[in-house]
Amino acid sequence: MGHPVAIEVRNVSKRYSDDPGLAPALDDVSVDIADNEFFTLLGPSGCGKTTLLRTIAGFEHVSDGEIRLAGEAVNDLPPFKRRVNTVFQSYALFPHMSVAQNIAFGLEMQGLDRKLIPQRVDEMLALVQMQHLARRKPAELSGGQQQRVALARALAPKPKVLLLDEPLSALDLKLRKEMQVELKRVQKEAGITFIFVTHDQEEALTLSDRIAVMSAGKILQIGTPNEIYERPRHQFVAQFIGDINFLPGHLKRGQQNEKLFVPSGMPVEIPCPAQGFDGSKVQLAFRPERSQLVEPTQPHHLRGVIEAVLYVGTATLYQCRLNNDIKVMLRENNEGLSHGRVVGDRVAVNLPPHACLLMEA
């Protein structure tokens, strides 16, 4: 990763019951998270991401395994003795205190010299660009401003790691996108590790240095946003990150390349020999934006009919029913003029070899 390791999670499991019929909340999870890394735990509700965050914070005890912070085992340390802080979905600001007083509170509890507290508060106000609002009460702030105060308060004691449990979920879409930019800026300027929990795929891709995709208490894949999106190694990961189409097929090996035959019998070329596939049934996956609609007169393409046309501003989405009766979604960027395609048009789908992913059926 190029940086010292901030958090080591080693074979961690968390069970809330001794009943063997109940699946654990965390199932043998291992991951290293680097210093100054924006690391995101991504997955649907109930996948274990918040439980993993809470075990790192010390709010939950692990059933098995070990958690190390900067090389030190912290399994038996209570939350206040771990150099981590948490920003929750609810910012939990003290309503009777000003912005500056909210930020100072943790420093006072920490026992910092009172002469040094105003300087640290000023540093945090500057970091989150809230100097002009230092005297206001939380009720006088917008949702985004309250989020910044919560962030400043959590960063003020100089934690080694900051944990963020879906802190943007209460914000409207426009403000949420603005705060994504702010979070990334603050993380880089603060120079510490952020571990961020979200179920929002776009948010994870926007913010993260690396992403861990979780399902059913397990980490299925860890990688950069580009790796997770472009080269998913698991069907769940491919489906959860962005939109994707799947076509069942049968792989046949040739001397020069691989060809995948979908149910209609149309061959689809695969750019390089597929490793780990023995000619059995496979799934061909492709993103809606990586394929093109072309005229049905062109040879060697999948054929079908348009069943729905959805205009979404920057692009138009086409739902097509292929001749093998499978529905796929295709996306074309809008360039000011309509492509003129309507429901009922017969079309062909061109799949460039580089757009195709092979997965186990």
Where are the domains positioned within the chain? 5-239, 243-360
pLDDT level of residue 284 (50, 70, 90 thresholds): confident
**Whole-model pTM?**
0.87
Q: What is the pLDDT of residue 258?
A: 59
pLDDT at 194 over 90: yes
Alpha helices (runs of H) in the chain, residue ranges in sequence order: 49-57, 99-110, 117-127, 143-155, 173-190, 201-207, 225-230, 235-240
Among the ranges given (60-64, 185-189, 245-249), the one the predictor scored with the smallest mean pLDDT = 245-249
Residue 257 scores a pLDDT above 70: no
Residue 202 reports pLDDT greater than 70 = yes
- Report which of 191, 184, 190, 174 is spatially closest to residue 225, judged by C-alpha positions: 184
Mean pLDDT of 281-293: 86
Tell me yes or no: is domain 5-239 CATH 3.40.50.300: yes
Given a cut of 60, whether residue 256 has pLDDT beyond it is: no
CA 82 vs CA 68, 138, 193: distances in Å: 10, 28, 14
Residue 294: count of CB within 10 angstroms of its CB: 12
For residue range 37-55, what is the model confidence (pLDDT) as tens digits? Answer: 999 999 999 999 999 999 9
Res. 273 pLDDT band, cuts 50 70 90: very low
Q: What is the DSSP letter of 147?
A: H
Q: What is the mean pLDDT of residues 61-87?
A: 92
Return the pLDDT at 265: 55
* pLDDT exceeds 90 at position 225: yes
- What pLDDT does residue 72 have? 92
Which tokens in the block code for residue 39? Answer: 């690391």
According to CATH, what is the number of the domain 243-360? 2.40.50.140
Quote the pLDDT of residue 270.
61
Q: Which tens digit of pLDDT belongs to each residue from 142-184?
A: 888 888 898 889 898 889 999 999 888 877 888 888 888 888 9
Burial-class residue 328 by CB neighbours within 10 Å (0-12, 13-18, 19+): buried
CB-facing half-sphere around the CA of 310: CA atoms within 13 A: 10
Average pLDDT, rounded, for the chain: 87
